[in-house]
Amino acid sequence: MISIEEAIATIFQHACALSARSRPLLDALGCRLAEDVAADADQPPFDKALVDGYAIRVEESDAGRRRFRIGETILAGQVPTHDLQSGEAAVIMTGAPTPGRTNAVVMHEQTTTEGPEVWIDLDPVKPEHNLLRQGRICKAGDLLLSRGEILTPPRLALLASVGRPSVQVIPRVEAAILSTGDELVEPDQTPGPGQIRNSNTIMLEALARSAGASTKPFPIVPDDPAPLRRAFVEGLESDVMLITGGVSAGQRDLVPSILSELDVERKFHKIRLKPGKPLWFGVGPRRGDRPGTLVFGLPGNPISGLVGFLLFVKPAMRILEGHAAQPTELLKARLGRDFQQKGDRVAYHPARWAREPGLGVIEPLRSAGSADLWSIAPADGFAAFPAGDRLFREGEIALPTGHWPGNGGRCPPYADFELNEPRKRKPRRIA
């Protein structure tokens, strides 16, 4: 049995960024760019009008000319046939190229048309008014996006504007999710004697999707070697395989032995952690030019699986996506109620978070254990209490570092709370 820190270090040692792949722009949303992208041409590629109106020469307006002869009409997508002549104003539409010698565009609302002539009502007309010059946004060859940037909708639009319908990215992590156990039935079924509904698959799939991964959920796999083997062979085609159940030490806990038969190399089994002690981690054989699948055998109780995902799976996924290995950030907060810790393992306990002026407050919630989904539903994260028997008092300083998505932003990202020294001032209770 190893420590949490040793487990994380082992996982980081065996996780590496996925190889770059070419993806269509919409499939690349949220992915990390794997190449530098430069402008293929000046943007805009010509001097263009920013409004519907009239292209003129400012010098003539400054000289007192207010009436101009209406010349050609230039629609968006067309090009001018000649440069502006003396006393001429060209009718022009938004986005259309301006005629040569143009140095301002006056919008229709600031003009008056009288037959073949137009009066300019704007006075004065400033040079470059409503005019965007060629190359003003960028020049051909300018670096637009750098390797490593996350592709957002505006960045995808930028790529499209420079002729890139596809792009090299670190692909989205694919996570296979398998729940095992003869006692499980699907959520839409009524459990029989000794059975329970499968909540782990939906929880892990939601967590993986919230972390940016694509997911491949499997039907419930019974505790039988043949179907377990078939499911694992298919799951090992994914970048990450999450298995719940079957990793303890019971007669029907078959997962570790079957993974070994499939050449999945075990890296550790069991962590000094509560809940989540039986967690199993291994690495599958290489998949051609892709690294071996990271395999996490998570305990069957849902809170154990949640803790395991937040502590170990999500950081590994971030590395696969091209991020640097990053330990969980610690943020100070105050304990909002007493908590009695017992046992020889670090205990992760469901907790709520409240932001206040200065330090925030965390409040451990009442829980019946690692199968108690009711206690975790209102929680924002976990309070991590050090091993040993001790009463932690309200007001002690804590270090929150994580939560799961979708809780309204009450807690800092991905918090687990580690207690520090006592604090004398009594905190306000969370409502």
The answer to whether position 307 is within a domain reads yes
Q: Which amino acid is at 107?
A: M
Give the count of beta carbons closer than 10 Å to the beta carbon of residue 294: 28
Q: State the Cα torsion 200-303-331-363 to the nearest 10°.
A: 130
For the chain, give the mean pLDDT.
88
Range with the poorest average pLDDT among 107-121, 243-257, 354-368, 408-422? 408-422
Show the tokens assigned to 323: 């991020």
Cα–Cα–Cα angle for 291, 156, 176, rounded to 5 degrees = 30
The answer to whether position 425 is within a domain reads no
Report the side by side order of strands in the sheet with 166-170: 21-24, 166-170, 32-33
Q: Which amino acid is at 287?
A: R
Label residues 184-209 b or e (16+ Cβ within 10 Å = b): beeeeeeeeeeeeebbbbebbbebbe
The answer to whether position 424 is within a domain reads no
- Asked, as a colleague might, if the bond just before 44 is cis with ω within 30 of 0, I would say yes
Tens of pLDDT, residue by residue over 28-53, are: 998 999 999 999 999 999 999 999 99
Tens of pLDDT, residue by residue over 347-358, are: 888 888 776 666
Show the tokens assigned to 248: 């303890």
The answer to whether position 151 is within a domain reads yes
| Average pLDDT rounded to a whole number, residues 133-154 | 95
What's 51's DSSP letter?
A: S
- Backbone φ/ψ region at 409: left (φ over 0), alpha (ψ -120 to 50), beta: left
Listed residues 145, 170, 195: the one ending a domain: 170
pLDDT value for 225: 94
| Average pLDDT rounded to a whole number, residues 406-410 | 41
Instruction: Kindly report the backbone phi and psi dihedral angles of residue 428, in degrees, each rounded to the nearest multiple of 5, phi listed first.
Output: -75, 140
The answer to whether position 358 is within a domain reads yes
| Average pLDDT rounded to a whole number, residues 146-174 | 95
Same domain, 356 and 234: no
Same domain, 202 and 295: yes
Same domain, 155 and 221: no
Distance CA 218, CA 212 (A): 19
Listed residue (147, 153, 176) closest to 298, CA to CA: 176
What's 176's DSSP letter?
A: E
pLDDT value for 360: 78
Listed residue (268, 123, 66, 298) closest to 201, CA to CA: 298
Higher-scoring residue by pLDDT: 242, 394:
242
Same domain, 211 and 285: yes
Tens of pLDDT, residue by residue over 257-300, are: 999 999 999 999 999 999 999 999 999 999 998 999 999 999 99
Listed residues 150, 170, 190: the one ending a domain: 170
Whats the size of the chain, residue-wise?
A: 431
The answer to whether position 146 is within a domain reads yes
What are residue 412's DSSP bridge partners?
none
| Average pLDDT rounded to a whole number, residues 180-187 | 95
Show the tokens assigned to 219: 């039907």
Same domain, 188 and 176: yes
Same domain, 339 and 373: yes
Same domain, 177 and 302: yes
* Strand 346-354 with 360-364, pairing: antiparallel
Tens of pLDDT, residue by residue over 222-247, are: 999 999 999 999 999 999 999 999 88
Q: What is the CA radius of gyration of the chain?
A: 31
Same domain, 316 and 193: yes
The answer to whether position 325 is within a domain reads no
Same domain, 128 and 148: no
Same domain, 185 and 282: yes
Show the tokens assigned to 78: 């067309």
The answer to whether position 364 is within a domain reads yes
Tens of pLDDT, residue by residue over 193-206, are: 999 999 999 999 99
Same domain, 282 and 409: no
DSSP 322-363: TPPP-PPP---EEE-S-EEE-SSSEEEEEEEEE--SSSEEEE
Distance CA 317, CA 208 (A): 9
pLDDT value for 87: 94
Listed residues 78, 103, 132: the one ending a domain: 132
Q: Is the pLDDT of residue 388 over 60?
A: yes
Q: What is the pTM of this model?
A: 0.79
Same domain, 391 and 251: no
Q: Which are the contacts of 419, defined by CB distance < 8 A and separation ≥ 6?
A: 335, 383, 384, 385, 386, 392, 396, 397, 398, 399
pLDDT value for 185: 96
**Domains identified in the chain, total number:** 4
Distance CA 326, CA 414 (A): 12
Q: 77 in helix, strand or coil?
A: coil
Domain hosting residue 56, numbered range: 48-132
Q: Is the Cβ–Cβ distance between 210 and 170 less than 8 Å?
A: no
